Amino acid sequence: MSNTTRIMAHVIPWYPDRAQSMDAVRGLVDAGVSYLEVQFPFSDPTADGPAIQAACSDALEAGFTVADGFAFLDEIRTITDTPVFLMSYASLIYRPGVQAFVARAREHGVAGLIVPDLPPDYDEGLYDACRDAGIACVPVLVATSADARVDLALSTKPEYVYVALRTGTTGSRTELGALNMGFLEKIGASGTKIFAGFGIQDAGQVQALAPHCEAAVVGSAFVRTIAAASGSGVYEAVKARAESLLDAK
Amino acid sequence: MKQLYNDFFGEFGGRYVAEVLRSPLDELESAFVDALSDEAFMREFHRLLASYVGRPTPLLHAENVTRDVGGAQIYIKLEGLAATGAHKINNALGQALLARRMGKPRIIAETGAGQHGVATAAVCAKLGLQCRVYMGEVDMRRQKPNVFWMEMYGAEVVPVTSGARTLKDAVNEAMRDWSANFADTHYLLGSALGPSPFPDMVREFQSVIGTEVVSQLSALGVRPTTLVTCVGGGSNAMGFFSPYIHETEPELIGVEAGGRGPAQGDHAARMNGLGTPGIVQGYRSLFLLDDDGQVMPTHSVSAGLDYPGVGPQLAHLGQTGRVRFERATDSEALEGLQYFARKEGVIFALESAHAGMVAIRRAKELTPDEAVVINMSGRGDKDLFITARELDAERWKEFLTREAASL
Ligand SMILES: Cc1ncc(COP(=O)(O)O)c(C=O)c1O
């Protein structure tokens, strides 16, 4: 557990277009985020809230392809060593074959994969493939997950677990209530590192989470920042937003 | 082998969902298995199917069409005579009763054509459940009358503005709502697809169609050669076919939307090599996907068939060859609609008219001592605004203009 505030920043390549999404990455890196979660847009992202879904639609409209996504990861590598986690949906991983997708992710320097609709018991071999490739497969849990589900996720011996803090999907304000905090304690006790997120919007939330997780995941807040700044300085806006979230004194 | 809960059908099916939806689906699975073996529950279901839905629906010997086609005897299961105009209400009633039994006072549903939404809204009114229906903005525009009826039943109809703004996007939105509200909410999914246990559950509630057909045919002393029906997600097909899927006879034909033709984006046919194995919206099946795994746009004149995925059990039955799949185009469906109306006095839903045309084609190849049974999954009243525009544009426009002016 850490006492400094850390952020895993979520970005969507090609949102709102290629150049500006890379500007957003630069802003995040320069602000000092600890991890990047790069979401490859999928046409039907059922586990995302309206803000991220709309951004994914826009990215696909702007011409995003999976090949572009991997090229985007390569470009990130040229500017930073910040660990990159690739988040997407089963359809994109299953289409070329799970093994092939994982191998490709590894070649492009990905530290881990986050695929919410391939849970450990319906994973199509994802967990094994990641283990073989030496990259993390990050299970996603919610505070309402039954004990058996938690045990199953932890039985994969994950280096990281992603905890979705509110029941529901990303985008609305999260109260860090007793249920969430208790759940974070429980998962943390297993020794795994936790990414905790969904709906984080202000520095107070980041700070409240800091002692309980490896990093607070911030997603739709950056999507909104990018939407507002599109065409007029995404780099500066995202950097300022990330700095304000990290600046939790 | 017949089994209530399967999860997988060969390589298709499963429960590929984010963790947040696991507990509601696990809960639903045990509630469904439990309810179906509870005689009191089934008695209540069948009581309302009879008194409220209007079952059994008739099996019509289409004598005029039979004579005109000059092949096999043609029978039509008039499923469209069920309350609210389509088979959708069988499943809506079953699941709504199940929700009530589970103590969930709030129902959410997705709808494309609006038929499932109307059926759900009606059943919720009857059972005193709160109802919210998600409907793509594009579908809301083309199916305005159904929106009107849903609201008449007291349902809240929520426009979905994301993605392609059609049925699949309404499913996404309903899944999102369920993720946040499953404690008091049941997601009443409208076809034999989605994460398990939905495909098994929807088939069971729709199997009343096939069960009735078996006894109606046997009362007439008819052994069917071929059963034909349309396939959107596959709920009416699975219900209609269910008594026969573990037998080798009769021949079973599923008809998909051929749309404007086989080019990408012009149809909604997933079988016969057009679809790709994929995992979308919680289940593994055949979908219309691009090389990256993105869901591709679809088209059909009938909103009820306009969906990129097919139910997992049908995908499996297609793979094993037990169900054969064919396509009918938009214009064939419109032709079928007019043909059955003129010859037999029956107006098919556009979805069902796809099956009507393929049934005629098949009957021609057979002999008069054989029988083809069509499931008319819906009646065509709901399509007035589409068919009138397609078939009688000038006079329809005149009428609408006059109506608008008089408002
Ligand atoms: C009349 C009618 N038939 C068929 C369908 C297709 O659905 P399914 O394949 O689930 O029966 C619909 C769907 O809305 C419908 O309204």
ipTM for the complex shown = 0.94
> Measured between CB atoms, which of A44, A66, A153 is closest to B292?
A66
Residue B220, domain member (yes or no): yes
> Which contiguous run of DSSP H or E holds residue B386?
helix B384-391
Q: In what order do the strands lie in the sheet with A140-142?
A: A136-137, A112-114, A84-87, A35-39, A7-11, A215-218, A193-197, A160-164, A140-142
Contact A122 B15 (CB under 8 A): yes
A158 close to B (CB below 8 A) = no
The 3-class SS string of B205-234 reads HHCHHHHHHHHHHHHHCCCCCEEEEECCCC
Looking at the fold, whether B81 and B92 belong to one and the same domain comes out as: no
Residue B43, both tokens: 């008695």
Would you mind telling me the total number of residues written for chain B in this entry? 407
Q: Hey, which of B149, B202, B256, B302 would you mutate to test ligand 1's pocket, going by the most ligand atoms within 8 Å of its Cβ?
A: B302
Contact B17 A119 (CB under 8 A): yes
Looking at the fold, whether B46 and B61 belong to one and the same domain comes out as: no
Q: In what order do the strands lie in the sheet with B12-13?
A: B8-9, B12-13, B283-287, B276-280
Choose one of B173, B202, B231: the last residue of a domain: B202
Range of the domain at B272: 56-85+207-391
**Per-residue model confidence as pLDDT tens for chain A (249 residues):** 344 789 999 999 999 999 999 999 999 999 999 999 999 999 999 888 888 999 999 999 999 999 999 999 999 999 999 999 999 999 999 999 999 999 999 999 999 999 999 999 999 999 999 999 999 999 999 988 999 999 999 999 999 999 998 654 444 445 577 788 889 999 999 999 999 987 788 888 898 888 999 999 999 999 999 999 999 999 999 999 999 999 854
Residues of A with Cβ-Cβ distance to B169 under 8 angstroms: 44
pLDDT means per 10 residues in chain B (407 residues)? 90 97 96 97 98 98 98 98 98 98 98 94 98 94 90 97 87 93 97 98 98 98 98 98 97 98 95 96 97 96 93 98 98 98 98 98 98 98 93 96 95
Domain of residue B101, CATH code: 3.40.50.1100
Task: Give me the catalytic one of B168, B285, B377, B382.
Answer: B377
pLDDT tens figures, A18-58: 999 999 999 999 999 999 999 999 999 988 888 899 999 99
Distance CA A114, CA A197 (A): 13
Is B88 assigned a catalytic role?
yes
Looking at the fold, whether B218 and B135 belong to one and the same domain comes out as: no
Looking at the fold, whether B270 and B347 belong to one and the same domain comes out as: yes
Looking at the fold, whether B358 and B326 belong to one and the same domain comes out as: yes
Looking at the fold, whether B290 and B385 belong to one and the same domain comes out as: yes
Domains contained in chain B, number = 2
How far is CA A26 from each of CA A36, A66, A74, A76, A216, rounded to the nearest angstrom? 11, 21, 14, 8, 19
Distance CA B291, CA B294 (A): 7
Looking at the fold, whether B323 and B361 belong to one and the same domain comes out as: yes
Residue B405, domain member (yes or no): no
> Measured between CB atoms, which of A118, A124, A146 is closest to B23?
A146
B23 close to A (CB below 8 A) = yes
Task: Give me the catalytic one of B29, B77, B79, B88.
Answer: B88
Looking at the fold, whether B107 and B239 belong to one and the same domain comes out as: no
B7 close to A (CB below 8 A) = no
Choose one of B202, B232, B260: the last residue of a domain: B202
Is A37 assigned a catalytic role?
yes
Residue B305, domain member (yes or no): yes
DSSP labels for B4-40? Answer: S--SEETTEE-----GGGHHHHHHHHHHHHHHHT-HH
Distance CA B227, CA B18 (A): 38
Looking at the fold, whether B260 and B353 belong to one and the same domain comes out as: yes
Residue B403, domain member (yes or no): no
**SS3 label, residue B389:** helix
Looking at the fold, whether B232 and B130 belong to one and the same domain comes out as: no
pTM over 0.80? The answer is yes
* CATH number listed for the domain at residues A7-242: 3.20.20.70
Residue type, A228: A
Residue B402, domain member (yes or no): no
